Structure 1
Amino acid sequence: MTASTVQANALDDARVQLAEAVAVLGYPEGLHRILGAARRETTVSVPLVRDNGDVEVFTGYRVQHSIARGPAKGGIRYSSEVNLDEVRALAMWMTWKCALLDIPYGGAKGGVDVDPRTLSPAELERLTRTYTQGISPVIGPDNDIPAPDVGTDEQTMAWMMDAYSATRGRGVPGVVTGKPLDLGGSLGRRTSTSRGVAHISLLALAKEGIAPSSATAVVQGYGKVGADAADYLAEAGVRIISVSDRFGAVHNTDGLDLSRLRAHSEERGTVAAFGGGLPIDPAAVLELDVDLLVPAAVEGVVNADNASRVCARIIVEGANGPTTAEADKILERSGVLVVPDILANAGGVVVSYFEWVQAQQGYWWTLSDVERGLDDRMTAAWSSVLDQAATTGSTLRRAAMALAVGRVARAHRARGLTH
């Protein structure tokens, strides 16, 4: 499956999930169209003068799917696979994620079609500032708040905040989240998505009657989310037997030494050739016989081609859209418990919300305050989804989507945007 096919499927999958929720909720076609349409789509040219004087022109995007429940919120992705359809899908999923966690945001997403590994730090800064200038008319602390995503980090957010602030003539720390602590970032933000994934994973294991000390797990995508999620799970007693990244994978049935693995990955830039386990085909990691599978990389990795070979009892979606609609049906027939992305990986947007609140108030919380608030929000959302699934006899994804879409629809109706 090619990258373009995965991206196209991501938007198709997002639309299928919405259509199923609309059918469950009994909404009319007009409301369905409103819920499925992005409020604003912005495409900008991003010229970059390379260090050698050459000029390249990249394309940047910012899609605001909804502002019915509050300002738009969503990450910025730097990847050569970014395109408008991918950003549309990710923005829509952000809308449902924020609604499900009862955060007063709508959904947005952005990105630039560039491989950040090919740029020097100076080039990345120039690219980020130019992109920020291009989208500055549509972002801001009261209307659209970006955050880090694939290929971006807290340094990217610092450059974005500075570039946006320059256009306003004052410091505007609330324009982005995921910033460095010295610029108004929040304690606990860097690992918040990972912590949320691990927290939900442990709740899912408990639901299935599996003790962490006897559980085995695989993390597909040992990166920004997957590495810390693996550490959190291991701290709880889960045995991580295999991890993968885009360059390779490693397997050890006795459990990987995660401290050594992290050191190796940071030094080499990959888990490949790690001496604490055997090399394995990265695709095979998804099919290992484990209690828990955490796909934490990109969209569409569990699909119609491999879903029937997935042996995990539980899938907790650390990435956005890692399971296609076709795979969902196969996994449901196989009895695999799939915890959807809009619940499982919502920890990042929860703590982004906390960071935004702190910036608006000019008052910063302790790490224990942040982590306690994150755990409480994730547990409450998990309980709501479980109750909805039990009441309706549906999968966790359908239950989560029905709850989220229902909240957004009620906001539209309350604002008088539909009947």
Structure 2
Amino acid sequence: MSKSLLADASIRLENALKHVDISDDAIERLKYPKTSLMVSIPIRMDDGSLKMFRGYRVRYDDTRGPGKGGVRYHPNVSLDEVQSLAFWMTFKCALLDLPFGGAKGGITVDPKALSKAELERLSRGYIEAIADSIGPDTDILAPDVYTNAMIMGWMMDQYSIIHRRIVPGVVTGKPLSMGGSQGRSTATATGAFHVINTVCEKLGRSPEKTTVAVQGFGNAGAEVAQQLANMGYKVVAVSDSRGGIYAEQGLDIPSIRHYKVENRGIKAVYCENTLCNIVEHKVLTNEELLTLDVDILIPAALENQITAQNAHQIKAKLIFEVANGPITSEADKILEQNDIMVVPDILTNAGGVTVSHFEWVQNRNGFYWSATEVKQKLKEKMIREAENVWELAQTKQLSMRTAAYTHALNRLGDALDAKGTRNYFVGSSS
């Protein structure tokens, strides 16, 4: 592998390999993605012009089951990024003991620059291009950055049109009316909330005495901020792509969410009159938010937000990765040297894929669970695996990231080795 996002991500694998006993065959298989698909999507724009978009779908490993992973729309989407995200998904699914492998997809596009009709044509065109590589038993799609239930519905519908039958299980995160699951839209945030609570309880931290900063006030970041605030945590700073705000006494998260919806951004001002309580606040950038003196920092935006360049400036005692890959491997070392605990993305943000699994199961059975059932099943699974990772970290004196990868590797190794290893074949021929 060349030095890239994927190469940086694989360093986490190398660190965990020191603490597991799996075959060389399994290690070799995990070095490379199983399939990497790159497609061109021709779209007729509203003005009559034809524009080409580049799309990707990577299935990294499917030893434990069909590939599973979201589709993101972003100007910076690349094959390297998608391969890295599929790599992380492989370990995330194993860590949560889900019967899935890791996959990911994306389109290089600024979705904000498209009309709704253009967005629909692009989404359906993407499925036309990758239809032979996906399916409910092969590779299952889900929402990610700048994709949502409506887009997932278009994708499921287009796949069903191609195959001339209704196939709800090919996509998760769909509208409820099209076979979606209760609780899916907030699953990533709810899962993160349970992980944060579990770790804070282990450390003896009470919510009322814990300050929180959230970088990335999107679907997951805003919802986890809301749930933490409801529990009594003091959320003192939030930011989106346009900037952020900080108030030492805490922010009124429901009002900020309302304001963001109404104005399409936080815009670094605090709304007035009936929408918000008037509080003194500071305007700050995303970069400044990362360096605030808070107890918990939650990067919930994009990859590579904390690097070797700014890791020394981080003052938070705990970091929970709600985004995928927000901390580079070089930054990891610096944070560990400074006694900052990082709870990794493959655990913290696994609530989304967990409820996606619930949705897939419901689609295949044709029987749907209540919101209460989904919520309880998610809570039990997230707390159980958070406690497993915590115990492994304490027992073997590992970082939470290395413990999470070690736990996942043990499950992956068993599945990979079940197909036969060098020792098995050498032994059988002697």
Q: TM-score, with normalisation over the residues of structure 2?
A: 0.94
How far apart are residue 299 of structure 1 and its match?
A: 0.6
Cα distance between partner residues in 2 of 1:418 and 1:61: 33
Contact 2:181 2:358 in 1 (8 A): yes
1:388 to 374, 381, 392: 392
What secondary structure is seen at the aligned counterpart in 1 of 2:330?
A: helix
1:63 alignment counterpart: 58
- Which digits, 9 at most, give the CA deviation of each residue in 1:57-78, with x for residues without a partner? 0110000001100011000010
* 1:250-329 matched pairs, under 5 angstroms: 250-275=245-270, 276=279, 277-329=281-333
* 1:177-256 matched pairs, under 5 angstroms: 177-256=172-251
1:34 alignment counterpart: 29
Cα distance between partner residues in 2 of 1:274 and 1:201: 28
Contact 2:319 2:342 in 1 (8 A): yes
Cα distance between partner residues in 1 of 2:394 and 2:304: 27
Say yes or no: does 1:23 pair with 2:41.
Answer: no
Matched letter for residue 133 of structure 1: E
Matched letter for residue 234 of structure 2: R
- Which digits, 9 at most, give the CA deviation of each residue in 1:253-310, with x for residues without a partner? 1111111101111111111233253211221101111111110001110111111111
What are the ranges of 5 or more consecutive residues in structure 1 without an aligned counterpart? 1-6
How far apart are residue 416 of structure 1 and its match?
A: 2.8
How far apart are residue 9 of structure 1 and its match?
A: 4.7
- Which digits, 9 at most, give the CA deviation of each residue in 1:183-238, with x for residues without a partner? 01000000000011111111222222210011110000000110000000001100
- Label 1:170 to 1:417 Cα distance change in 2 as closer, same or farther (>3 A): farther
Cα distance between partner residues in 1 of 2:292 and 2:196: 17
Cα distance between partner residues in 2 of 1:294 and 1:366: 30
What secondary structure is seen at the aligned counterpart in 1 of 2:33?
A: coil
How far apart are residue 18 of structure 1 and its match?
A: 1.2
What are the ranges of 5 or more consecutive residues in structure 2 without an aligned counterpart? 271-278, 424-430
* 1:58-97 matched pairs, under 5 angstroms: 58-97=53-92
1:3 alignment counterpart: none
Contact 1:75 1:147 in 2 (8 A): yes
Cα distance between partner residues in 2 of 1:315 and 1:418: 40
How far apart are residue 27 of structure 1 and its match?
A: 4.5
- Label 1:411 to 1:297 Cα distance change in 2 as closer, same or farther (>3 A): same
Contact 1:8 1:85 in 2 (8 A): no
Say yes or no: does 1:117 pair with 2:112.
Answer: yes
Say yes or no: does 1:133 pair with 2:128.
Answer: yes
1:361 alignment counterpart: 365
Matched letter for residue 158 of structure 2: A
Matched letter for residue 338 of structure 1: V
1:98 alignment counterpart: 93
* 1:157-196 matched pairs, under 5 angstroms: 157-196=152-191
How far apart are residue 314 of structure 1 and its match?
A: 0.6
How far apart are residue 403 of structure 1 and its match?
A: 1.1
Cα distance between partner residues in 2 of 1:15 and 1:184: 36
Cα distance between partner residues in 1 of 2:26 and 2:416: 9
2:150 to 138, 155, 180: 155
Contact 2:89 2:101 in 1 (8 A): yes
Cα distance between partner residues in 2 of 1:198 and 1:321: 18
Contact 2:23 2:413 in 1 (8 A): no
Contact 1:296 1:317 in 2 (8 A): yes
Cα distance between partner residues in 1 of 2:331 and 2:84: 17
Matched letter for residue 321 of structure 2: E
Q: Percent identity?
A: 45
Alpha-carbon RMSD across the aligned residues, in angstroms, is 1.4
Matched letter for residue 45 of structure 1: S
- Label 1:52 to 1:353 Cα distance change in 2 as closer, same or farther (>3 A): same
Cα distance between partner residues in 2 of 1:281 and 1:385: 33
What secondary structure is seen at the aligned counterpart in 1 of 2:404?
A: helix
What secondary structure is seen at the aligned counterpart in 2 of 1:25?
A: coil
Which one has the largest radius of gyration? 2
Say yes or no: does 1:43 pair with 2:38.
Answer: yes
Contact 1:35 1:409 in 2 (8 A): no
1:145 alignment counterpart: 140
How many positions carry a matched residue from both structures? Answer: 413
Cα distance between partner residues in 2 of 1:357 and 1:28: 32
- Which digits, 9 at most, give the CA deviation of each residue in 1:16-58, with x for residues without a partner? 1112222332545543221121111111111111100111101
What secondary structure is seen at the aligned counterpart in 2 of 1:59?
A: strand
